[in-house]
Structure 1
Amino acid sequence: MIVTDPLYGSFNVDKVLANIIESEPVQRLKGIHQGGASYLVNRDWNMTRYEHSLGTMLLVKHLGGSLEEQIAALLHDVSHTAFSHVIDAVFEHDQEDYHEKIYEQVIGKSDLPIILSQHGYDYEELLFDHGQWQLLEQPPPTLCADRVDYTLRDMYTYGHITKEEVTKFIADLTVVKGKMAVKTVSSAEWFVSTYFKEVIGFFMHPLNVYGYEALARLLKTALTANILTEDDFLDDDARVMAKLTASSNKDIQTQLSRLHPHVTVVEEDTHYTFHRKNKVRLIDPLVYTDGGLKPVSHLSEKAKSMINQTKEKALAGSYVKVIAY
Structure 2
Amino acid sequence: MPPVKVGHFQTLDLSAENKAIIQDQLYGDHIISDPVLNELLRSPSLSRLVGVRQHGISSLLNFTPPITRFEHSVGAFLLVRHVGGSLEEQVAALLHDVSHTAMSHVVDFALSEPGEESFHEVHKMRFVKTTQIPEILSKYGFEDLKPLDEELYPLVEMPTPHLCADRLDYGLRDAVGFGSLSLEEARRIIACLDVCPDATSPDRLIVLRDPEIALSLANGYMRCDRDVWGNPSHGSLYTRTAELMRSSIRSGGVREDDLWRLSDEQFWAEMRKVVDSKGQEAMDRLESEALPNGKDLPLPRGAKVRTIDPDVYDLSSGKAVPLSTLLPEYATERERYIVARRALYE
Q: TM-score, normalised by structure 2?
A: 0.85
- Alignment of 1:47 with 2:71, yes or no, is no
Correspondent of 1:124 among 131, 141, 145? 145
Q: Give distance in 1, aligned partners of 2:112 and 2:127.
A: 20
Alignment of 1:168-247 (within 5 A): 168-177=188-197, 178-235=204-261, 236-247=263-274
Give the AA of the match of 1:98: F
Following superposition, the deviation at residue 205 of structure 1 comes to: 2.9
Q: Quote the sequence identity (%).
A: 34
Correspondent of 1:8 among 14, 27, 37? 27
Q: Give distance in 1, aligned partners of 2:285 and 2:185.
A: 37
- Alignment of 1:143 with 2:163, yes or no, is yes
The 8 Å contact of residues 77 and 93 in structure 2, kept in 1 or not, is answered as yes
- Alignment of 1:107 with 2:107, yes or no, is no
Following superposition, the deviation at residue 107 of structure 1 comes to: 1.5
Residues 288 and 95 (structure 1), Cα distance of their counterparts in 2 relative to 1, 3 Å cut: farther
The 8 Å contact of residues 230 and 299 in structure 2, kept in 1 or not, is answered as no
Following superposition, the deviation at residue 238 of structure 1 comes to: 2.0
The 8 Å contact of residues 173 and 181 in structure 1, kept in 2 or not, is answered as yes
Is there any run of 5+ residues in structure 2 with no aligned partner, and where?
A: 1-19, 198-203
- Alignment of 1:62 with 2:89, yes or no, is no
Q: Give distance in 1, aligned partners of 2:291 and 2:22.
A: 39
Q: Give distance in 2, aligned partners of 1:197 and 1:207.
A: 15
Q: Give distance in 2, aligned partners of 1:109 and 1:76.
A: 16
1:322 paired residue number = none
Q: Give distance in 1, aligned partners of 2:43 and 2:267.
A: 21
2:300 paired residue number = 276
The 8 Å contact of residues 222 and 306 in structure 2, kept in 1 or not, is answered as no
Correspondent of 1:267 among 270, 275, 294? 294
The 8 Å contact of residues 79 and 102 in structure 1, kept in 2 or not, is answered as yes
Q: Give distance in 2, aligned partners of 1:228 and 1:42.
A: 24
Q: Deviations over 1:284-314 (max 9, x none)?
A: 1111112122111111133213321331233
The alignment partner of 2:285 has SS state of coil
Following superposition, the deviation at residue 265 of structure 1 comes to: 2.1
Q: Give distance in 2, aligned partners of 1:317 and 1:80.
A: 28
1:88 paired residue number = 108
Runs of 4 or more off by more than 4 Å in structure 1? none
Q: TM-score, normalised by structure 1?
A: 0.90
- Alignment of 1:33 with 2:58, yes or no, is no
Alignment: residue pair count: 315
The 8 Å contact of residues 244 and 271 in structure 2, kept in 1 or not, is answered as no
Following superposition, the deviation at residue 218 of structure 1 comes to: 1.2
Following superposition, the deviation at residue 261 of structure 1 comes to: 5.7
The 8 Å contact of residues 232 and 240 in structure 1, kept in 2 or not, is answered as yes
Q: Give distance in 1, aligned partners of 2:75 and 2:288.
A: 28
Residues 43 and 280 (structure 1), Cα distance of their counterparts in 2 relative to 1, 3 Å cut: closer
Q: Is the deviation greater in 164-173 or in 39-48? A: 39-48
Following superposition, the deviation at residue 207 of structure 1 comes to: 3.3
Following superposition, the deviation at residue 233 of structure 1 comes to: 1.3
Q: Give distance in 2, aligned partners of 1:63 and 1:10.
A: 16
The 8 Å contact of residues 200 and 313 in structure 1, kept in 2 or not, is answered as no
Residues 264 and 134 (structure 1), Cα distance of their counterparts in 2 relative to 1, 3 Å cut: closer
The 8 Å contact of residues 57 and 73 in structure 1, kept in 2 or not, is answered as yes
